[in-house]
Amino acid sequence: MPHNSLEALNKYFGYSSFRPGQEKLIASILSSKDTVGIMPTGGGKSLCYQIPALLLPGVTLVISPLISLMKDQVDSLNEIGIPSTYINSSLVWSELEHRLYLASRGKFRLVYIAPERLESDKFLGILKEMTVSVLAVDEAHCVSQWGHDFRPSFLSIASLAGNLRTRPVIAAFTATATEQVKQDIISLLGLDSPNVYSTGFNRDNLYFSVVKGIDKTDFVIDYLNSHKNQPGIIYAATRKEVDRLYATLVRKGFQAGKYHAGLSDAERSRTQEAFSYDDLRVMVATNAFGMGIDKSNVRFVIHLNMPKNIESYYQEAGRAGRDGDPADCILLYSASDIHIQKFLIEQNPLSPERKAAEYGNLQNMADYCHTSLCLRQYILEYFGETGVPENCGNCGNCKDESELSDITVDVQKILSCVRRVGQNYGVNLVANVLRGSRSKKISLLGFDQLSTYGIMKEYTANELTNLINLLVAEEYLGITEGRYPVLRLGNRAVPVLTGKEKVLRKVRKKAPTADTADTTLFEMLRGLRKQLSEKQNVPPYVIFHDSTLQEMSRLCPVDRPSMLAISGVGENKLAKYGSQFIEVISKYTMAREIAPLTAKQAAAPPTADVASHLSTYEMYREGKSLKEIAALRKLTLQTVQGHIIRCGQAGCEIDWDSLIPSPHEDLILKAVRRLGAQKLNPVKEALPKEIDYFTIRAVICKHKL
Ligand code: ADP
Ligand code: ZN
């Protein structure tokens, strides 16, 4: 049994420090106070009740509406040596009784149940036999009618708590709570003057961007090519669009799956599972793909179309990067997205007030797409946060990497061609005229005599149709509805034709040349993880997160103590998998004569510089402060600080927030953005005296500037 929460975090979870808010929430539960935790998705809510479950007597009952996640969560807990089980409608009654019997004998630290169970008297009878110390309510907003997923059975939770032998501590968690929902959580769950902690909605590791004026399919293909092997989700507005993009991606050889309400249940769960197991890399989906995605290593969420409001967008985009590693949330915007959403609103039989509200929400969403200010700030302020920094440094507007290129002449050519064919033909014909196609139709119509015939020969048919579609989306051209849509000049055509207005198109700067880092070892470790995952019938991330494998492939641990130093390797996983992973790493390092990381090295005297910063890191992971480490190692504080920075640069996990005084962070960020991160002298000089070099370097490292 661990003695305190930090020990539990190290020993079981293999993590070195808490994420923001976790420590307070855990302490509150341990002190027997009812507790409400509001943390964004991926913030690490589960750990806040799992650690108390380890430290307190009796069992922790977790009530969660996400039945499809229970198995993975319970598998993950058992993997790290915390005996747990779940009880939901997927079990037959005999199995359920057996599990409860084991629970009443104290065999489990955590028991997950679906809220619907609380409506069965028989079940409640059995619960009364147990010593429940904590009742953890996940997705607690489901208790409120004002929340987005109201579940009536959540209303039974309060009476359950009262009917147990002793009233357990109630801990409620959610990622989305407006003031009203928060009040409902407190009153409807019957919380007794609870401690309420909110870490806000921000998710540092997510990069937000809006991309306009591109061909969306081309963008997706380029993106997938320049982000090899990374798993992600692409959301599209309609089933038809999902089918289309899915077919294109499969044709191009990508491992893609698709998910929408038009597919059978069996098909959907098969695809979802394949995605979890890393057998599919990209999921093309409508918003039906949602609840129950626990895959932690989703590296990007691309929206092919603008969703109907910011709530939906943030929820969908938020499925990226739950493991805390950097991930991209990219929205591909075109003006026609607004028409789609307006159409959907008009289709719904809504009251006039609701309709007006929906239009308002849509406008907010559109404003997000058009703003040139910080996108993160926009979202956070939308959710009511105050004091949000004006420049986050990690969104498309704070670090705009696109260039504008002037395409006025090409647009003029297209517009005049549309005019020359009498605004009477569709996209393909116009493209063919511009390309100078020798098709019979064109010569029959005499269009090969037009002045615009063949004036854009340098383009492929595909590029031309894309460009024309873009002009439609941006309202330079209009298009009629119906079976044979015809191009017309749009509202914005005349000023361009008369040379009064230019057309600029954002082109992304050349994607940075593909990452040349050697990923061989990472791929080997991934392969081993995949084998183990199939053998044990759990998704790969239940065994190790990607970030853990990445750290292994960077640091090459080849014995047990150095393996234990890897974030995400706790004692149980070390015992279970350590030797197999060590074997792969040893073979690799030997074959390539790469210096591996060993415990001996890590503990070597300070003269061995490589080892020195790692031994500092070991002590840091044990929870020692930098001052304590300096004293113990007889080093100056500056040296120890240097070690921490070095470890941070090498990708070791450092809790920067506990090292950087928060009022300084903004100041430093602003100064670095203005003066650059190459030379620290000018930055230091521009800042108040009390800010030292270490804090500046820590901020640079934290934000990867
Ligand atoms: P939430 O329920 O808030 O969406 P989870 O509890 O699923 O988030 O946690 C998200 C991820 O973060 C998980 O992979 C978890 O293992 C990881 N995690 C949680 N706390 C920490 C921590 N202190 N250090 C490192 N990783 C953590
Ligand atoms: Zn920003």
- The residue from 198, 224, 258 where one domain ends is 198
Q: Are residues 326 and 450 in the same domain?
A: no
Arithmetic mean of pLDDT, 232-257: 96
Mean pLDDT of 509-516: 45
pLDDT tens digits, 361-390: 888 898 898 888 899 999 999 888 888 898
Mutate to test the pocket of ligand 1, among 64, 322, 567, 653 (most ligand atoms within 8 A of CB): 322
Same domain, 154 and 287: no
Q: Whose CA is nearest to atom 24 of ligand 1?
A: 15
Same-domain check for residues 118 and 254: no
Quick one: 176 and 282 in the same domain? no
Confidence of residue 517 (pLDDT cuts 50, 70, 90): low
Same domain (yes/no): 134, 13: yes
In a domain, 667, yes or no: no
Which residues does ligand 1 sit against, CB inside 6 Å?
15, 18-19, 22, 39, 41-47, 296, 322-324, 545
Last residue of a domain, one of 553, 579, 608: 608
State in Å: Cα 393 to ligand 2 middle: 5
The DSSP-derived string for 525-549 is: HHHHHHHHHHHHTS-HHHH--HHHH
Residue 283's SS3 state is: strand
Res. 113 pLDDT band, cuts 50 70 90: very high
Final residue belonging to a domain, choices 146, 177, 198: 198
- 41 alpha carbon – ligand 1 mean position (Å): 9
In a domain, 457, yes or no: yes
Predicted pLDDT of residue 291: 65
Max CA distance (Å), the chain: 91
Same domain, 309 and 333: yes
The residue range of the domain holding 441 is 404-506
Tokens 């792969």 sit on residue: 584
The pLDDT of residue 193 is 95
Asked if residue 678 belongs to a domain, the reply is no
The CATH number assigned to the domain holding 574 equals 1.10.150.80
Closest C-alpha residue for ligand 1 atom 9: 44
Sequence-distant (≥ 6) Cβ neighbours of residue 519 within 8 angstroms:
229, 553
Average pLDDT of the residues in 13-35: 94
State the burial class of residue 679 (Cβ atoms within 10 Å of its Cβ: 0-12, 13-18, 19+): exposed
Q: Do 217 and 122 fall within a single domain?
A: no
pLDDT at 310 over 70: yes
Please report, for the domain that includes residue 181, its CATH number.
3.40.50.300
Residue 510 clears pLDDT 50, i.e. is over it: no
Task: Tell me the ligand closest to 395's alpha carbon.
Answer: 2
Produce one character per residue of 293-320: b if its CB has 16 or more CB atoms within 10 Å, e if not: bbbbbbbbbbbbbbbbbbbbbbbbbbbb
Given a cut of 70, whether residue 525 has pLDDT beyond it is yes
Residue 687 inside a domain? The answer is no
Is position 664 within any domain? no
Residue 294 has pLDDT above 80, yes or no: no
Task: Please report the pLDDT score of residue 401 as a whole number.
Answer: 63
Average pLDDT over residues 94-103: 88
The pLDDT of residue 514 is 41
Regarding beta strands 132-137 and 169-174, do their DSSP bridges make them parallel or antiparallel, or are they unpaired? parallel
Q: Which residues are within 5 Å of ligand 2 (an ion), measured at CB?
A: 374, 376, 392, 395, 398
* Average pLDDT, integer, range 185-210: 93
Q: Are residues 211 and 227 in the same domain?
A: yes
Element (H, E) at 112: strand 110-113
Kindly identify the ligand whose nearest atom is closest to the C-alpha of 379.
Answer: 2
Q: Which residues pair with 135 in a beta bridge?
A: 61, 170
49: its two tokens: 């009740």
- In this prediction, residues 39-61 reach a mean pLDDT of 92
Which structure tokens are listed for 108? Answer: 């489990």
Cα–Cα distance list, 468 to 236, 417, 423, 459 (Å):
21, 11, 14, 12
Pocket perturbation via mutation, ligand 1, pick of 47, 141, 314, 566 by most ligand atoms within 8 A of CB: 47
Q: Which atom of ligand 1 is nearest to the CA of 40?
A: 3
329 and 225, same domain (yes or no): yes
> 102 CA distance to ligand 1 centroid (A)?
28
Tell me if 612 sits within 8 A of 643, measured CB to CB: yes
- Residue 141 falls inside a structural domain: yes
Q: Are residues 46 and 160 in the same domain?
A: yes
pLDDT at 147: 64
User: Looking at ligand 1, which residue's alpha carbon is closest to its atom 13?
Assistant: 323
pLDDT above 70 for 430: yes
Q: Which of 565-579, 613-627, 690-704 has the highest mean pLDDT?
A: 565-579
Determine the pLDDT at residue 175.
Answer: 85
pLDDT of 292 reads: 63
Backbone angles phi, psi at 656, to 5 degrees: -60, -35
Residue closest via CA to ligand 1's atom 18 equals: 44
Q: Which tens digit of pLDDT belongs to each residue from 151-177?
A: 888 999 998 888 888 999 999 999 877
Ligand 1, atom 19, residue with closest C-alpha: 44
Pocket test for ligand 1, best of 5, 11, 13 (most atoms within 8 A of CB): 13
For residues 454 and 466, give the distance between their C-alpha atoms in angstroms, rounded to a whole number.
17
**Percent of the chain at pLDDT above 90?**
46
Percent of the chain exceeding pLDDT 70 equals 95
Q: Is residue 700 part of a domain?
A: no
Q: For the sheet containing 110-113, what is the strand order?
A: 84-87, 110-113, 59-63, 132-137, 169-174, 35-38, 195-198
Ligand nearest to the CA of 380: 2
User: pTM score > 0.95 for this model?
Assistant: no
Model confidence at 515, in pLDDT bands (50, 70, 90)? very low
> What does the pLDDT read at residue 506?
64
pLDDT surpasses 50 at 251: yes
The amino acid occupying position 274 is A
Span 555-609, pLDDT tens digits: 899 999 899 989 999 999 999 999 999 999 999 988 887 777 776 555 544 333 4
Q: Distance between CA atoms of 164 and 96, rounded to whole angstroms? A: 19
Tens digits of residue pLDDT in 378-425: 999 988 888 889 899 899 988 766 667 889 999 999 999 999 999 999
Same domain, 54 and 140: yes
Beta strands in 6-78 (DSSP E): 35-38, 59-63
551 alpha carbon, closest ligand: 1
Asked if the structure places residue 634 within a domain, the reply is no
Number of separate domains in the chain: 4
Q: Do 483 and 538 reside in the same domain of the chain?
A: no
Cα–Cα distance, 629 to 615 (Å, whole number)? 10
| pLDDT attached to residue 266 | 93
Query: What is the CATH number for 424?
Result: 1.10.10.10
Q: What is the mean pLDDT of the chain?
A: 87
Integer angstrom CA distances of residue 496 from 34, 476, 478, 487? 64, 8, 14, 16
